[in-house]
Structure 1
Amino acid sequence: MERLFPIEVRGLTVSAAPGAPQTPVVSFRIEAGDVIQLTGASGVGKSTLAEALMRLHPVAPGMLSYGGVDACGVRIASVLERIAMSPQMPAFLPGTVADQLRLARPEANEAEMRAALETAVADEFVFARADGLESRIGEAGAGFSGGELRRLGLARALLAEPELLILDEPFAGLDKALADRLTTRLSCWLSDGQRAILILQHKADGRGWPQKTAFSVVL
Protein backbone atom coordinates (compact mmCIF):
# COMPACT_ATOMS: atom_id res chain seq x y z
CA MET A 1 0.00 0.00 0.00
CA GLU A 2 1.60 3.25 -1.14
CA ARG A 3 -0.57 5.59 0.93
CA LEU A 4 -3.30 5.37 3.55
CA PHE A 5 -5.35 8.47 2.73
CA PRO A 6 -7.99 9.06 1.73
CA ILE A 7 -9.77 6.29 3.60
CA GLU A 8 -13.12 5.78 1.90
CA VAL A 9 -15.93 4.05 3.81
CA ARG A 10 -18.90 3.26 1.54
CA GLY A 11 -21.95 1.56 3.02
CA LEU A 12 -19.77 -0.33 5.49
CA THR A 13 -21.38 -2.79 7.88
CA VAL A 14 -19.57 -5.58 9.72
CA SER A 15 -20.05 -7.96 12.63
CA ALA A 16 -17.65 -8.63 15.48
CA ALA A 17 -17.98 -12.40 15.07
CA PRO A 18 -19.93 -14.93 12.99
CA GLY A 19 -23.58 -14.71 13.98
CA ALA A 20 -23.13 -11.42 15.85
CA PRO A 21 -25.35 -8.43 14.94
CA GLN A 22 -24.24 -6.23 12.06
CA THR A 23 -23.14 -2.68 12.79
CA PRO A 24 -25.18 0.23 11.37
CA VAL A 25 -24.36 1.08 7.76
CA VAL A 26 -21.99 4.06 7.53
CA SER A 27 -20.28 6.06 4.81
CA PHE A 28 -17.58 8.69 5.35
CA ARG A 29 -14.16 9.77 4.13
CA ILE A 30 -11.01 10.40 6.15
CA GLU A 31 -8.34 12.73 4.79
CA ALA A 32 -4.99 13.60 6.35
CA GLY A 33 -5.54 16.37 8.89
CA ASP A 34 -9.10 15.32 9.75
CA VAL A 35 -10.62 14.88 13.20
CA ILE A 36 -13.68 12.63 13.00
CA GLN A 37 -15.99 11.78 15.89
CA LEU A 38 -17.81 8.47 15.47
CA THR A 39 -20.65 8.71 17.96
CA GLY A 40 -23.34 6.34 19.16
CA ALA A 41 -24.75 4.54 22.17
CA SER A 42 -22.76 1.90 24.01
CA GLY A 43 -22.89 -1.42 22.16
CA VAL A 44 -23.94 0.03 18.80
CA GLY A 45 -20.70 -1.07 17.14
CA LYS A 46 -18.28 1.87 17.23
CA SER A 47 -15.31 -0.26 18.26
CA THR A 48 -16.20 -2.97 15.75
CA LEU A 49 -16.28 -0.43 12.92
CA ALA A 50 -12.95 1.01 14.06
CA GLU A 51 -11.45 -2.48 14.13
CA ALA A 52 -12.77 -3.02 10.61
CA LEU A 53 -10.80 0.04 9.48
CA MET A 54 -7.74 -1.79 10.85
CA ARG A 55 -8.73 -4.91 8.87
CA LEU A 56 -9.36 -6.87 12.08
CA HIS A 57 -12.77 -7.95 10.74
CA PRO A 58 -13.63 -9.14 7.22
CA VAL A 59 -14.94 -6.40 4.93
CA ALA A 60 -16.88 -6.97 1.72
CA PRO A 61 -15.35 -5.67 -1.54
CA GLY A 62 -16.18 -2.07 -2.33
CA MET A 63 -16.95 -1.03 1.25
CA LEU A 64 -13.49 0.21 2.29
CA SER A 65 -10.45 1.55 0.48
CA TYR A 66 -7.10 3.10 1.35
CA GLY A 67 -5.53 5.63 -0.99
CA GLY A 68 -7.83 4.48 -3.78
CA VAL A 69 -7.04 0.77 -3.32
CA ASP A 70 -9.81 -1.59 -2.21
CA ALA A 71 -9.14 -3.03 1.25
CA CYS A 72 -9.48 -6.57 -0.05
CA GLY A 73 -6.30 -6.04 -2.06
CA VAL A 74 -4.26 -4.61 0.82
CA ARG A 75 -2.13 -6.65 3.23
CA ILE A 76 -3.44 -6.47 6.80
CA ALA A 77 0.11 -5.97 8.10
CA SER A 78 0.46 -2.90 5.88
CA VAL A 79 -2.68 -1.39 7.42
CA LEU A 80 -1.58 -2.14 10.99
CA GLU A 81 1.72 -0.36 10.33
CA ARG A 82 -0.23 2.84 9.67
CA ILE A 83 -3.17 2.73 12.11
CA ALA A 84 -3.00 2.54 15.92
CA MET A 85 -5.81 2.40 18.45
CA SER A 86 -5.85 3.62 22.05
CA PRO A 87 -8.63 1.64 23.77
CA GLN A 88 -10.67 2.86 26.70
CA MET A 89 -9.21 0.08 28.86
CA PRO A 90 -5.67 -0.62 27.60
CA ALA A 91 -3.94 -3.82 28.68
CA PHE A 92 -0.59 -3.73 30.47
CA LEU A 93 1.82 -6.45 31.47
CA PRO A 94 3.80 -6.13 34.70
CA GLY A 95 6.95 -4.11 34.03
CA THR A 96 8.23 -0.57 33.79
CA VAL A 97 6.56 2.32 31.99
CA ALA A 98 9.38 2.20 29.44
CA ASP A 99 8.77 -1.53 28.89
CA GLN A 100 5.10 -0.87 28.15
CA LEU A 101 5.79 2.01 25.77
CA ARG A 102 8.38 0.03 23.84
CA LEU A 103 5.79 -2.63 23.03
CA ALA A 104 4.72 -0.17 20.32
CA ARG A 105 8.24 0.56 19.09
CA PRO A 106 11.07 -1.47 20.65
CA GLU A 107 13.80 0.84 19.35
CA ALA A 108 12.27 4.01 20.85
CA ASN A 109 14.73 6.15 22.82
CA GLU A 110 14.05 8.18 25.95
CA ALA A 111 13.45 11.44 24.08
CA GLU A 112 10.84 9.78 21.85
CA MET A 113 9.09 8.24 24.85
CA ARG A 114 9.07 11.60 26.63
CA ALA A 115 7.53 13.26 23.56
CA ALA A 116 4.76 10.64 23.38
CA LEU A 117 4.04 11.03 27.10
CA GLU A 118 3.87 14.82 26.73
CA THR A 119 1.37 14.61 23.87
CA ALA A 120 -0.77 12.23 25.95
CA VAL A 121 -0.54 14.58 28.98
CA ALA A 122 1.06 11.69 30.86
CA ASP A 123 4.50 13.21 31.40
CA GLU A 124 3.66 15.00 34.64
CA PHE A 125 2.49 11.99 36.63
CA VAL A 126 5.22 9.74 35.22
CA PHE A 127 8.11 12.10 35.94
CA ALA A 128 6.65 13.12 39.31
CA ARG A 129 7.68 9.62 40.40
CA ALA A 130 11.24 9.10 41.53
CA ASP A 131 11.82 6.33 38.98
CA GLY A 132 10.23 8.14 36.02
CA LEU A 133 10.22 5.85 32.99
CA GLU A 134 11.46 3.02 35.19
CA SER A 135 8.39 3.24 37.46
CA ARG A 136 6.77 -0.16 37.68
CA ILE A 137 3.27 -1.07 36.57
CA GLY A 138 1.92 -4.02 38.53
CA GLU A 139 -0.61 -6.72 37.72
CA ALA A 140 -3.75 -5.30 36.07
CA GLY A 141 -2.13 -1.84 36.05
CA ALA A 142 -1.56 -1.69 39.80
CA GLY A 143 0.17 1.48 40.93
CA PHE A 144 -1.60 3.78 38.47
CA SER A 145 -5.16 5.10 38.33
CA GLY A 146 -7.54 4.19 35.52
CA GLY A 147 -7.18 7.65 33.97
CA GLU A 148 -3.39 7.44 34.13
CA LEU A 149 -3.43 4.02 32.47
CA ARG A 150 -5.61 5.37 29.64
CA ARG A 151 -3.12 8.16 28.99
CA LEU A 152 -0.21 5.71 29.11
CA GLY A 153 -2.11 3.64 26.55
CA LEU A 154 -2.47 6.75 24.40
CA ALA A 155 1.25 7.48 24.70
CA ARG A 156 2.00 3.92 23.59
CA ALA A 157 -0.26 4.32 20.54
CA LEU A 158 1.40 7.64 19.68
CA LEU A 159 4.85 6.08 19.93
CA ALA A 160 3.88 3.72 17.09
CA GLU A 161 3.83 6.84 14.86
CA PRO A 162 0.50 6.03 13.19
CA GLU A 163 -0.98 7.97 10.31
CA LEU A 164 -4.48 7.32 11.70
CA LEU A 165 -4.90 7.38 15.48
CA ILE A 166 -8.14 5.86 16.82
CA LEU A 167 -9.13 7.01 20.32
CA ASP A 168 -11.85 5.29 22.35
CA GLU A 169 -13.47 7.77 24.79
CA PRO A 170 -10.19 9.68 25.30
CA PHE A 171 -11.77 12.39 27.48
CA ALA A 172 -13.73 10.08 29.80
CA GLY A 173 -13.14 11.00 33.43
CA LEU A 174 -10.98 14.06 32.65
CA ASP A 175 -11.82 17.47 34.08
CA LYS A 176 -12.27 20.30 31.58
CA ALA A 177 -8.79 21.75 32.06
CA LEU A 178 -7.07 18.42 31.47
CA ALA A 179 -9.34 17.56 28.53
CA ASP A 180 -8.56 20.94 26.96
CA ARG A 181 -4.81 20.36 27.36
CA LEU A 182 -5.13 16.95 25.74
CA THR A 183 -7.09 18.45 22.84
CA THR A 184 -4.42 21.11 22.33
CA ARG A 185 -1.56 18.62 22.35
CA LEU A 186 -3.30 16.22 19.97
CA SER A 187 -4.03 19.15 17.67
CA CYS A 188 -0.31 19.95 17.64
CA TRP A 189 0.40 16.31 16.81
CA LEU A 190 -1.91 16.69 13.79
CA SER A 191 -0.37 19.95 12.64
CA ASP A 192 2.00 18.41 10.08
CA GLY A 193 -1.04 17.61 7.94
CA GLN A 194 0.00 13.98 7.41
CA ARG A 195 -2.14 12.37 10.12
CA ALA A 196 -5.76 12.02 11.19
CA ILE A 197 -7.69 11.17 14.35
CA LEU A 198 -10.87 9.10 14.70
CA ILE A 199 -12.59 9.50 18.08
CA LEU A 200 -15.12 6.97 19.36
CA GLN A 201 -17.54 8.37 21.93
CA HIS A 202 -21.13 8.26 23.07
CA LYS A 203 -21.99 11.74 21.81
CA ALA A 204 -20.32 14.69 20.13
CA ASP A 205 -18.89 16.95 22.81
CA GLY A 206 -18.53 20.18 20.87
CA ARG A 207 -14.84 20.25 21.71
CA GLY A 208 -13.04 23.10 19.98
CA TRP A 209 -10.69 21.31 17.63
CA PRO A 210 -8.86 23.91 15.56
CA GLN A 211 -8.92 21.60 12.55
CA LYS A 212 -11.45 22.95 10.05
CA THR A 213 -12.22 19.43 8.91
CA ALA A 214 -13.54 18.19 12.26
CA PHE A 215 -16.94 16.53 11.90
CA SER A 216 -19.11 13.81 13.45
CA VAL A 217 -20.58 10.58 12.11
CA VAL A 218 -23.59 9.46 14.17
CA LEU A 219 -24.52 5.78 14.38
Structure 2
Amino acid sequence: MQSYVEDCKLLNEQRNVILLGIKKGKEQFQSIRDLLPEFTTRTFAPRMQYDCVNTHVENEVQRNSHLQLKIFKRRAGFHPYLVIQDMVRNIFILVSKLPKSKYIYEPSGYRGDFASSNISRLMGMGASFDQFEDTTIQSSLPLGTVYQPFGVIVSYDGDSDTVYEGALYPDQSDWIYKDEITDSIVSNTEEIVRLPSYQVSDIETPLKSSVSDSDIVVKLKDDTSSS
Protein backbone atom coordinates (compact mmCIF):
# COMPACT_ATOMS: atom_id res chain seq x y z
CA MET A 1 0.00 0.00 0.00
CA GLN A 2 2.88 2.35 0.74
CA SER A 3 3.67 2.97 -2.92
CA TYR A 4 0.07 4.07 -3.57
CA VAL A 5 0.12 6.35 -0.53
CA GLU A 6 3.34 7.95 -1.79
CA ASP A 7 1.56 8.88 -5.02
CA CYS A 8 -1.09 10.77 -3.02
CA LYS A 9 1.27 12.77 -0.82
CA LEU A 10 2.02 16.43 -1.43
CA LEU A 11 4.59 17.24 -4.07
CA ASN A 12 7.76 18.85 -2.73
CA GLU A 13 6.99 22.34 -4.00
CA GLN A 14 3.37 22.15 -2.81
CA ARG A 15 4.65 21.20 0.63
CA ASN A 16 7.18 24.03 0.63
CA VAL A 17 4.59 26.64 -0.33
CA ILE A 18 2.20 25.54 2.44
CA LEU A 19 5.02 25.43 5.00
CA LEU A 20 6.09 28.92 3.99
CA GLY A 21 2.54 30.18 4.47
CA ILE A 22 2.35 28.61 7.94
CA LYS A 23 5.73 30.12 8.87
CA LYS A 24 4.79 33.62 7.69
CA GLY A 25 1.39 33.44 9.36
CA LYS A 26 2.84 32.46 12.72
CA GLU A 27 5.47 35.20 12.44
CA GLN A 28 2.82 37.82 11.71
CA PHE A 29 0.73 36.61 14.63
CA GLN A 30 3.73 36.86 16.96
CA SER A 31 4.54 40.40 15.81
CA ILE A 32 0.93 41.49 16.41
CA ARG A 33 0.76 39.82 19.81
CA ASP A 34 3.97 41.51 20.91
CA LEU A 35 2.31 44.90 20.41
CA LEU A 36 -0.75 44.07 22.51
CA PRO A 37 -0.99 44.54 26.28
CA GLU A 38 -1.40 41.59 28.62
CA PHE A 39 -5.00 40.53 29.17
CA THR A 40 -6.46 38.48 32.00
CA THR A 41 -7.93 36.14 29.39
CA ARG A 42 -6.45 35.73 25.92
CA THR A 43 -9.20 34.03 23.96
CA PHE A 44 -8.25 35.99 20.85
CA ALA A 45 -4.84 34.33 20.51
CA PRO A 46 -5.73 30.92 19.01
CA ARG A 47 -8.23 32.44 16.59
CA MET A 48 -5.87 35.20 15.47
CA GLN A 49 -3.03 32.76 14.83
CA TYR A 50 -5.40 30.56 12.82
CA ASP A 51 -6.53 33.56 10.75
CA CYS A 52 -2.93 34.71 10.13
CA VAL A 53 -1.84 31.24 9.01
CA ASN A 54 -4.82 30.79 6.70
CA THR A 55 -4.27 34.21 5.14
CA HIS A 56 -0.60 33.59 4.37
CA VAL A 57 -1.20 30.04 3.13
CA GLU A 58 -3.80 31.42 0.72
CA ASN A 59 -1.41 34.18 -0.41
CA GLU A 60 1.43 31.73 -1.07
CA VAL A 61 -0.81 29.36 -3.01
CA GLN A 62 -2.08 32.23 -5.17
CA ARG A 63 1.48 33.45 -5.79
CA ASN A 64 2.39 30.02 -7.16
CA SER A 65 -0.38 29.54 -9.68
CA HIS A 66 1.74 27.17 -11.76
CA LEU A 67 1.21 24.52 -9.05
CA GLN A 68 -2.40 24.14 -10.23
CA LEU A 69 -3.79 24.56 -6.69
CA LYS A 70 -7.19 26.13 -6.13
CA ILE A 71 -8.42 27.67 -2.85
CA PHE A 72 -11.95 27.26 -1.52
CA LYS A 73 -13.33 28.93 1.61
CA ARG A 74 -15.71 26.72 3.57
CA ARG A 75 -17.51 26.80 6.91
CA ALA A 76 -18.49 24.05 9.33
CA GLY A 77 -20.98 25.66 11.68
CA PHE A 78 -19.18 28.70 13.09
CA HIS A 79 -15.76 27.34 12.06
CA PRO A 80 -14.33 28.76 8.81
CA TYR A 81 -11.61 26.82 7.06
CA LEU A 82 -9.68 26.68 3.80
CA VAL A 83 -9.63 23.82 1.32
CA ILE A 84 -6.79 23.58 -1.19
CA GLN A 85 -7.43 21.39 -4.21
CA ASP A 86 -4.72 19.89 -6.39
CA MET A 87 -6.59 20.24 -9.68
CA VAL A 88 -4.37 17.76 -11.50
CA ARG A 89 -4.43 14.86 -9.02
CA ASN A 90 -7.82 15.60 -7.36
CA ILE A 91 -6.27 15.82 -3.90
CA PHE A 92 -7.84 18.04 -1.23
CA ILE A 93 -5.63 19.63 1.44
CA LEU A 94 -6.69 20.99 4.82
CA VAL A 95 -4.34 23.12 6.94
CA SER A 96 -5.29 22.77 10.59
CA LYS A 97 -3.86 23.27 14.05
CA LEU A 98 -3.05 20.15 16.12
CA PRO A 99 -1.12 20.41 19.40
CA LYS A 100 2.15 18.49 19.35
CA SER A 101 0.98 16.55 22.40
CA LYS A 102 -2.04 15.14 20.54
CA TYR A 103 -1.67 12.23 18.13
CA ILE A 104 -4.89 12.70 16.19
CA TYR A 105 -7.91 15.00 15.91
CA GLU A 106 -11.26 14.43 17.53
CA PRO A 107 -13.68 13.13 14.88
CA SER A 108 -15.52 15.90 13.07
CA GLY A 109 -18.00 16.07 10.24
CA TYR A 110 -15.97 18.14 7.81
CA ARG A 111 -12.72 16.21 8.31
CA GLY A 112 -14.69 13.00 7.91
CA ASP A 113 -16.05 14.24 4.59
CA PHE A 114 -12.54 14.81 3.26
CA ALA A 115 -11.39 11.38 4.46
CA SER A 116 -14.46 9.47 3.28
CA SER A 117 -13.03 8.28 -0.03
CA ASN A 118 -9.36 7.90 0.91
CA ILE A 119 -9.47 4.10 1.00
CA SER A 120 -11.56 3.94 -2.17
CA ARG A 121 -8.93 6.05 -3.92
CA LEU A 122 -6.09 3.76 -2.80
CA MET A 123 -8.03 0.64 -3.78
CA GLY A 124 -8.80 2.18 -7.15
CA MET A 125 -5.06 2.66 -7.63
CA GLY A 126 -4.46 -1.03 -6.92
CA ALA A 127 -4.19 -1.46 -3.14
CA SER A 128 -5.62 -4.75 -1.87
CA PHE A 129 -8.90 -4.81 0.06
CA ASP A 130 -7.29 -7.26 2.51
CA GLN A 131 -5.11 -4.45 3.77
CA PHE A 132 -8.21 -2.65 5.02
CA GLU A 133 -10.28 -5.59 6.28
CA ASP A 134 -10.33 -4.19 9.84
CA THR A 135 -11.30 -0.72 8.69
CA THR A 136 -14.76 0.68 8.12
CA ILE A 137 -14.87 1.57 4.44
CA GLN A 138 -17.54 3.84 3.04
CA SER A 139 -18.81 2.26 -0.14
CA SER A 140 -18.62 4.41 -3.24
CA LEU A 141 -19.21 4.05 -6.94
CA PRO A 142 -16.27 2.61 -8.90
CA LEU A 143 -15.50 5.88 -10.63
CA GLY A 144 -11.78 5.24 -11.01
CA THR A 145 -8.80 6.90 -9.37
CA VAL A 146 -9.19 10.19 -11.23
CA TYR A 147 -12.64 10.79 -9.79
CA GLN A 148 -12.03 9.59 -6.23
CA PRO A 149 -10.73 12.49 -4.12
CA PHE A 150 -8.00 11.98 -1.54
CA GLY A 151 -7.85 14.14 1.58
CA VAL A 152 -4.54 15.30 3.08
CA ILE A 153 -4.20 17.27 6.32
CA VAL A 154 -1.23 19.52 7.11
CA SER A 155 -1.19 19.87 10.93
CA TYR A 156 0.81 22.56 12.71
CA ASP A 157 1.46 23.12 16.40
CA GLY A 158 0.63 26.59 17.69
CA ASP A 159 3.57 26.82 20.11
CA SER A 160 6.41 25.17 18.18
CA ASP A 161 7.63 24.72 14.62
CA THR A 162 6.36 21.13 14.41
CA VAL A 163 4.33 20.35 11.29
CA TYR A 164 2.90 17.01 10.16
CA GLU A 165 1.38 15.82 6.91
CA GLY A 166 -1.08 12.95 6.96
CA ALA A 167 -4.31 11.37 5.77
CA LEU A 168 -7.07 9.92 7.91
CA TYR A 169 -8.99 6.68 7.59
CA PRO A 170 -12.66 7.32 6.73
CA ASP A 171 -13.78 6.58 10.31
CA GLN A 172 -11.07 8.99 11.62
CA SER A 173 -9.85 6.33 14.06
CA ASP A 174 -6.24 6.52 12.87
CA TRP A 175 -3.89 7.91 10.26
CA ILE A 176 -3.27 6.12 6.97
CA TYR A 177 0.05 7.93 7.12
CA LYS A 178 1.47 10.70 9.28
CA ASP A 179 4.87 12.21 8.44
CA GLU A 180 6.68 14.96 10.26
CA ILE A 181 7.59 17.55 7.62
CA THR A 182 9.01 20.25 9.89
CA ASP A 183 12.47 20.07 8.30
CA SER A 184 11.41 19.22 4.76
CA ILE A 185 11.21 22.82 3.59
CA VAL A 186 13.95 23.87 1.17
CA SER A 187 16.94 25.59 2.76
CA ASN A 188 15.97 29.02 1.44
CA THR A 189 12.25 29.04 0.93
CA GLU A 190 12.25 32.55 -0.46
CA GLU A 191 14.15 31.24 -3.47
CA ILE A 192 11.59 28.69 -4.65
CA VAL A 193 12.08 28.43 -8.39
CA ARG A 194 8.93 29.38 -10.24
CA LEU A 195 8.10 28.41 -13.78
CA PRO A 196 8.13 31.38 -16.14
CA SER A 197 4.78 32.78 -17.20
CA TYR A 198 4.65 33.94 -20.80
CA GLN A 199 2.30 36.35 -22.51
CA VAL A 200 1.45 35.88 -26.17
CA SER A 201 3.16 39.21 -26.88
CA ASP A 202 6.41 37.83 -25.42
CA ILE A 203 6.71 35.10 -28.03
CA GLU A 204 8.78 36.08 -31.02
CA THR A 205 7.44 34.58 -34.22
CA PRO A 206 10.11 34.58 -36.94
CA LEU A 207 8.76 35.84 -40.24
CA LYS A 208 9.60 34.10 -43.47
CA SER A 209 12.25 36.04 -45.35
CA SER A 210 10.84 38.19 -48.08
CA VAL A 211 11.40 37.16 -51.67
CA SER A 212 11.85 39.71 -54.41
CA ASP A 213 10.16 39.38 -57.78
CA SER A 214 13.51 38.72 -59.43
CA ASP A 215 13.97 35.61 -57.27
CA ILE A 216 10.75 34.01 -58.48
CA VAL A 217 11.28 31.53 -61.27
CA VAL A 218 8.22 30.73 -63.36
CA LYS A 219 8.54 27.76 -65.65
CA LEU A 220 6.63 28.37 -68.83
CA LYS A 221 4.79 25.56 -70.52
CA ASP A 222 6.53 24.28 -73.61
CA ASP A 223 5.03 25.57 -76.83
CA THR A 224 3.90 22.45 -78.70
CA SER A 225 1.83 24.20 -81.33
CA SER A 226 2.97 23.83 -84.95
CA SER A 227 4.31 26.89 -86.77
TM-score (norm 2): 0.27
Which entry has the higher C-alpha Rg, 1 or 2?
2
